[in-house]
Structures are given as C-alpha cells and as structure tokens.
Amino acid sequence: MAHGTTINTAATANRASGFDIERSIVTHRRWLTVMVCLLCASAVVVIGSLRFGAESISYTDVVDIFLLWLRNGPARMESAEPNFMILMYVRLPRIILAFMVGACLATVGVGLQALLRNPLADPYVLGISSGAALGAALAMLIGAGTTIMAMSSLPLFAFIGGLLSIGIVYRIAVSYGHLPVHTLLLAGVVLNAVFSALIMFITSIMDPNRSFGMMSWLMGTLLAPDYPALGALAVYVGVGTTVLATQSTALNILTLGEESARSLGVEVERLKKMIFVIAALLTGAVVSVSGLIGFVGMVIPHAVRLFVGPDHRLLLPASALVGGMFLVIADALARTLLAPSEIPVGVVTALAGGPIFLYLLTRRKGGLAS
Amino acid sequence: MWALIVGVFFAVGPATAYETDDGTMKRRQQGILTGMPFMANVVPRTFVDDLGRKLYLAKEPNRLVSLAPSITETLYAIGLGDRVVGVTEFCDYPPQARSKPKVGYSRPNLETIVALQPDLVLAPRDFIRHDVLAKLEQLKIPTFIVEAKTVEDIASRIQTIGRMLGEPETADRVAMELRRRLMELKARTESLPRPRVLYVLNSQPLITVGPGSFIDQLIGMAGGANIAAGAPSPYPRLSMEAVLAQDPQVIIFPVGTAEGISPAEQTLWRRWNTIAAVKTGSFHEIPSDLLNRPGPRIILGLEKLAEIIHPEQFAPSNFQPGR
C-alpha cells in the first residue's frame, strides 16, 4: 500500500458532504499516527479488561499470574490454582476471541458498505449472518450428540450457509450483468426473513431442552475457546482481512460509482465476487464461534468514518481495531453486569451500539461519506 | 368454598351436632357429609385450580385430556390411564401413554381437543398460554390448571386430582408414599456434608439452575449445595469463571431417554482440570424427565440425585409409584 500519496477520491467524496478535506486526507504520517494511537488504545482496552469478570482478580494478581506463566511456561501450571485457570484459560482467550470477532464484523461491514455504496449494508442486513446461523443451527440439529465447539461441522456449515445466502442474494439481484444496490438490499431483507423462519422451524422441532440452548447460543455468546480453536479462527480472520486490505485502493475507486470504477480499470464484478466470498467466510467463521452479534458491522465503520474519513486504506484497519475494542468492552460488561451470570453479548452490543451511533449521527450530520 | 358449604349448613340447622374439632376444614366437611344420609355418596363437585378458577363438575369426568407429561404420569399413577383420551407429544411415560392421541403441547391443537370431546382438560400453569385457556373456556371445555412448585405441592396435587376424578384412595396412597420417601430422604441427607454441585442444562453457553428453580430445590433436598445459588435468576447463563472459582465436586448432566453425555461434551469439560469433579471424574447423567416433570416420579429423580451426590449413603432404588 502506498501511504505517501494523497488520494483524490477521498477528497472528492468529502467535498460533497462539506467534510473538512484537510483532515481526511491520508498521508503516510497521518496513517501512522492514527494506527499507532488505535493500537495503543487496543492494548489498553485488552489489558484493562483482564481485570473484569465474574471473579475479581486484581491487577497485581494479573501481573503475578503472567510472571508465573512466563517463568514456568504454560504446560504444568493448570492444576496450580483456579485464578490462573480463570485468567489464562477463560478470560484471556475470551478477550482475544471478542477482539477478533469484533474486528471481523467491522471489516466485513466496511467492505460491504463500500461495495454497495450504502451505509445500511452489513452482514446482517444482507442475510449472510442469518444464512450462517441457519447453517450452524442445522449442524446442531444433525450432530445430535456433538457440542458446538467441536469445531468440525459447525464452522463449515456456517460458512456454507453464509456463502449460500450471499449466492442467492446475488443471483436474485443480478440483472443484465449488473448488481443494482437496492435490489440486492431488498433480496437480503427477504432472505433474512426466510432464514429466520427456517431457524425458528428448526428450534420448534428440536427437543425443547436443546432448542433452548440453541436459542441462547444464537443470542450472541462469547465462550472460552481453547487455544487451537482460537488459532484456527485467527487464520480465517488474518487471511480475510489481509485480502480485503489489499483491495482498499480499489474500494476507494469503487465509491465513485461502478461505471467510473470500471473506466478507471477496476474489475468491478471480480472485486464484488471476491468481497462476497470473504464476507461469507469471515461471517461464517464468526457466527460459528459467537452466534449472532449485531450492530458491530454497521455502527463501527460509520463511527470510524466520522473520525478518520472515508479512505479505505485507513478506514479498514482502523475499523478492525475499533470493532475489536468495542466488542471487548461490550463483553466485559456482559461478563460483569449480572455476575456470576452473564448477559448475551449480542444484547449488550445492540443496546450500547445504538445510542452511540445516534449520538455520532446527530453530532456530525452530513459527516457520513457515500 | 368449604366455608361456603359449611356456612350454608349452619344456616340450615343441625350443623352444631357435627361441629367437631377434629382438625381441618376438610375433615369437618367429611364429617358433615357423612352425617347427612342423602349426601352419603356425594363427593364435593366444585374444585379450585391453581389459577384460583372455580370448576364445577356435574359428574365425574370420563374423557380426560392432559396437557403435560407430569399430569399424564399422575393420571396413570392413580389408575386413570383408561380415561385419558388425549396427551401431549412429550407424554412418553408410562409407555401406554404413547399410543394416546396427541394434541400438541404449549400450543395445543384446539380442533383436535374439541374432536376428542373431553369433559376435563388438565393443563400445567407454566406452559398453558392465556389465549388457549380463554379459547377453551369459550368452547365450554372444563379446564383445570395445575401448578406444583415444591415436592409437597406435587403430593397435594395428586390428591386433588384423585378426589376430582373419584379415585381418592389410590391418590392418597400414592401421595403418602411420596411423602414418606421424601421424609426418609431428607432425614438421611440432613446430617451429611454438602458436596458442591453443578447442574448443566446446556454446556455452550453454560446454562444452569439457580435459586427459584425447581431443580435447585431438589439439589438441596438431595443433600447437595448448588454452586449457582448466588445467581440472580432461576436459569442463569453462568460464567465459566464462577464455575472455576466455586470448584464443583459433582457435575450433573440431564440427558434424554436414549442418549448419554456426549464424548464431545465430556472433552469440553475435561479441559478444566482444576475442578474437583474433573479431577475425580465425577460426571453424572440423570434422565431429565425424572427431574423436569413435577409428577409422581419426582421422588425417583430425587433419590437418583441423592445417590449421585452421596454415593456412599444410597443404594439404587426401585420405587415404582402407581400401577
């Protein structure tokens, strides 16, 4: 990525909305400043949230446990004491998971919003999430005895569900080789309704004891994954976001409109397909580990765009970090508010994300690019 | 209602002759009735259900629809299986109940119910929907709502249903047997140390039973200490952190009739190797039907629970209520 040059598209996009152009121009220096600030903030949030959970572990204990872990290695420490187990095997993996899930959802949101040039686009609106959730529900119905984190059939089904739904939406919406945005959104809404109905059908034919477990899983749940599962997810997330990041210049040009992008040499249809597949992959991976967590994919890209401007070279990584932070904080709240019991994190994100979004929207009217 | 009858009786006249103080209103009622020749074989016909609704039965109901597995089990336990004409899709005990026509569950099919021409529908308070109940009332189908929040409630509901359906002796016998075994169980567990118990309704996310739930009560009666006792709701999503900190000694998984604890679920729990129950391999399964259904088999569930929590104190039981 070339960070040194200013990008005309960003400036053009903002002129219409009366946005402060100077501030939204991405220079190498500005990119670095923003990213370093956000990385520091992320580190602070992640480390800070280690303190919060159903069991209170003070920061000094946290430090002690980490020192112990560094000195003795992870292997023989398990049977030592519950606090060690809680911190290293419940809380830390969960915080990392929350960060990855949040980053993923925000990245996918940015990609889809750029692609469809519509601020409403997010994995939920387009039906990708409910497709993935339907796949996950089917996996749970079929694999009667297996649990959710068996990490075998479930992510696969979720990915297939996501891909299938985006495929259907795409097939419905595509006409004369083009992809009209409003048809796409409408198709997503309809598909969403159908998939929700199918999920409800599956829960209704399941054993009530188990369907109730599935319902609460679907509400958005961050579990304590083991490290191999976390590693597997990191691979998905890493590949998906990296590929998306390499397309940020193309995404910038795409915001000018498909015709302009085409005349500027962007292979629009190929780009669309690629983004859809990545969106399905990331959403499938995320849904399979966390159920349905709403609002992150829509709110975070908006909020970040208000602050850093619409240039995707900065917007993509910044949204990923902010999305990660947002979900880590939301999950810290979900863990602690009703301790020792928990609130579904999807509830927290929607309750917290909505008002934040409204505030940003009213404070800076017209700041929304595209 | 008793007060009303007694009141009427006082007004009529010779009440004082029978105003013995041999205990409850119920007893007094029996005294009055047996004292009047023309009422000798008449049972009280008005019953109050657990929604406080009065139900007048002109004659003994002969076609019964049960809207809960626990109610079906109660009816069979007091020997009224033959009179049951409709059950829910979950009524699988005793096995004969499976062959009865199905009417649905929380959203029963009203047309099927009407077609079965029941003269009494027995429904659980927790799962009957208000619109369904209103519709049944509108259709003039007598409906009796049952709610049992404690084991004692279960015993008394068995007796109520028995009296309502003309089988008071059998019902009393079943209820007394239940009470006797409950007392016995309580006496045996009272002085024992209380192992910490985790009851896993769902592993991912972890959902367990908290204060206010029926199963939490049962765990206490069986001599265990529920680790989710401090949770704010009856069916909390419990934090794994809390589980690790509370360190349960016994982990109990309710399972369906056929399946056991799945290997995947066991692997999942084995990760937490600081937990006492994991160290000792104390994973136990219990048929969920025995604990989830507030019917006569509850005592079996309770005894099984006690057996799991205090293996050294209890031998396997073989109590079969009813016939």
The shortest CB-CB distance from B244 to any of A86, A213, A221 is to: A86
Which pLDDT tens digit goes with each residue over B215-241?
A: 999 999 999 999 998 888 888 888 888
| pLDDT value of position A26 | 73
| pLDDT value of position A100 | 93
Which pLDDT tens digit goes with each residue over B263-274?
A: 777 888 888 888
Which residue type, as a one-letter code, is found at position B20? T
Integer Cα distance of A115 and A327 in angstroms:
24
Which pLDDT tens digit goes with each residue over B73-105?
A: 999 999 999 999 999 988 988 999 999 999 987
Integer Cα distance of B196 and B211 in angstroms:
15
| pLDDT value of position A175 | 65
| pLDDT value of position A152 | 54
Peptide bond between residue A74 and the one before it cis (omega within 30 degrees of 0): no
Residues of A whose CB is below 8 A from B268:
147, 149
| pLDDT tens-digit profile, chain A (370 residues) | 344 444 444 444 444 444 455 556 778 888 888 999 999 999 999 999 988 888 878 888 888 878 877 777 655 555 557 788 888 888 889 999 999 999 999 999 999 888 877 777 778 778 888 898 898 888 877 764 444 444 456 777 888 888 888 888 777 777 666 666 677 778 888 888 999 899 888 888 877 667 777 787 787 778 777 788 888 888 888 888 899 989 888 888 888 877 788 888 888 888 888 888 888 888 888 888 888 887 888 889 988 988 888 889 999 999 999 999 999 999 999 888 887 788 888 888 888 877 877 776 676 555 444 3
Q: Does A217 touch chain B (CB under 8 A)?
A: yes
Q: Are the C-beta atoms of residues A299 and A236 closer than 8 Å to each other?
A: no
Looking at this predicted complex, what is its ipTM? 0.74
Q: Are the C-beta atoms of residues A283 and A95 closer than 8 Å to each other?
A: no
What DSSP letter does each residue of B83-113 carry, written as one string? GEEEB-TT--SSGGGGGSPB--SSS--HHHH
Integer Cα distance of B92 and A304 in angstroms:
57
Residue of B nearest to A77 (CA): B274
Backbone angles phi, psi at B284, to 5 degrees: -130, 145
| Percent above pLDDT 90 for chain B | 44
Integer Cα distance of A155 and A301 in angstroms:
25
Residues ≥6 apart with Cβ < 8 Å to A80: A68, B274
Q: Does A344 touch chain B (CB under 8 A)?
A: yes
Integer Cα distance of B268 and B243 in angstroms:
14
Sheet strands (E) in chain B: 46-48, 54-56, 64-66, 84-86, 120-124, 143-146, 196-199, 225-226, 250-255, 283-287
Which H or E element spans position B7? helix B2-12
Mutate to test the interface with B, among A90, A226, A341, A347 (most CBs of B within 10 A): A341
Nearest residue to B274 (alpha-carbon basis) of A260, A77, A158: A77
| pLDDT value of position B173 | 94
Q: Where are the domains of chain B?
A: 1-42, 45-177, 192-309
Mapping DSSP onto H, E and C, the string for chain A reads CCCCCCCHHHHHHHHHHCCCHHHHCCCHHHHHHHHHHHHHHHHHHHHHHCCCCCCCCCHHHHHHHHHHHHHHCCHHHCCCCHHHHHHHHHHHHHHHHHHHHHHHHHHHHHHHHHHHCCCCCCCCCCCHHHHHHHHHHHHHHHCCCCCHHHCCHHHHHHHHHHHHHHHHHHHHHCECCECCHHHHHHHHHHHHHHHHHHHHHHHHHCCHHHHHHHHHHHCCCCCCCCHHHHHHHHHHHHHHHHHHHHCHHHHHHHCCCHHHHHHCCCCHHHHHHHHHHHHHHHHHHHHHHHCCCCCHHHHHHHHHHHHHCCCHHHHHHHHHHHHHHHHHHHHHHHHHCCCCECCCHHHHHHHHHHHHHHHHHHHCCCCCCC
Integer Cα distance of A270 and A248 in angstroms:
14
* Confidence check: pLDDT of B9 > 50: no
Nearest residue to B216 (alpha-carbon basis) of B150, B157, B155, B126: B150
Q: In what order do the strands lie in the sheet with B143-146?
A: B84-86, B64-66, B120-124, B143-146
Integer Cα distance of B243 and B318 in angstroms:
33
| pLDDT value of position A271 | 87
Integer Cα distance of B28 and A28 in angstroms:
94
Return the number of other C-beta atoms located less than 10 Å from residue A230's C-beta.
17
- The C-alpha of A182 sits at a distance from chain B's nearest C-alpha, in angstroms, of 37
Integer Cα distance of A282 and A235 in angstroms:
10
Q: Are the C-beta atoms of residues A335 and A97 closer than 8 Å to each other?
A: no
Integer Cα distance of B110 and B143 in angstroms:
13
Mutate to test the interface with A, among B239, B273, B278, B288 (most CBs of A within 10 A): B239
Q: Where are the domains of chain A?
A: 96-363
* Confidence check: pLDDT of B317 > 60: no
Half-sphere exposure (Cβ direction) of A251: Cα atoms closer than 13 Å: 29
Q: Does B33 touch chain A (CB under 8 A)?
A: no
Residue of A nearest to B235 (CA): A341
- DSSP 8-state class, residue B68: S
Domain B192-309 coded CATH 3.40.50.12780 = no
| pLDDT value of position B197 | 95
Fold of A96-363: ABC transporter involved in vitamin B12 uptake, BtuC (1.10.3470)
Fold of B45-177: Rossmann fold (3.40.50)
Joined together, the tokens standing for residue B149 give 């929040």
Q: Please tell me if the domain spanning B45-177 has the same topology as the one spanning B192-309.
A: yes
Integer Cα distance of A63 and B15 in angstroms:
82
| Percent above pLDDT 70 for chain B | 82
* Confidence check: pLDDT of B320 > 50: no
Integer Cα distance of B165 and B321 in angstroms:
18
For chains A and B, CB pairs below 8 A equal: 118
Joined together, the tokens standing for residue B64 give 């019964």
The shortest CB-CB distance from A55 to any of B233, B242, B254 is to: B242
* Confidence check: pLDDT of B3 > 90: no
Q: Are the C-beta atoms of residues B27 and B36 closer than 8 Å to each other?
A: no
Joined together, the tokens standing for residue A363 give 């404070």
Q: Are the C-beta atoms of residues A112 and A122 closer than 8 Å to each other?
A: yes
A82·B247 Cβ contact <8 A:
yes
**Is the sign of the CA dihedral B9, B11, B15, B19 positive or negative?**
positive
Q: Are strands B54-56 and B46-48 parallel, antiparallel or unpaired?
A: antiparallel
Nearest residue to B222 (alpha-carbon basis) of B201, B255, B250, B242: B250
Residue A242 burial (10 A CB sphere; 0-12, 13-18, 19+) = exposed
B274·A80 Cβ contact <8 A:
yes
| pLDDT value of position A156 | 77
Tokens 């915001």 belong to residue: A255
Phi-psi domain of B50 (left: phi exceeds 0; alpha: psi -120 through 50; beta: other)? alpha
- The C-alpha of B247 sits at a distance from chain A's nearest C-alpha, in angstroms, of 8
Nearest 10 degrees: Cα torsion A341, A347, A353, A356: -70
Taking the complete model, does pTM exceed 0.95, yes or no? no
Integer Cα distance of A172 and B37 in angstroms:
82
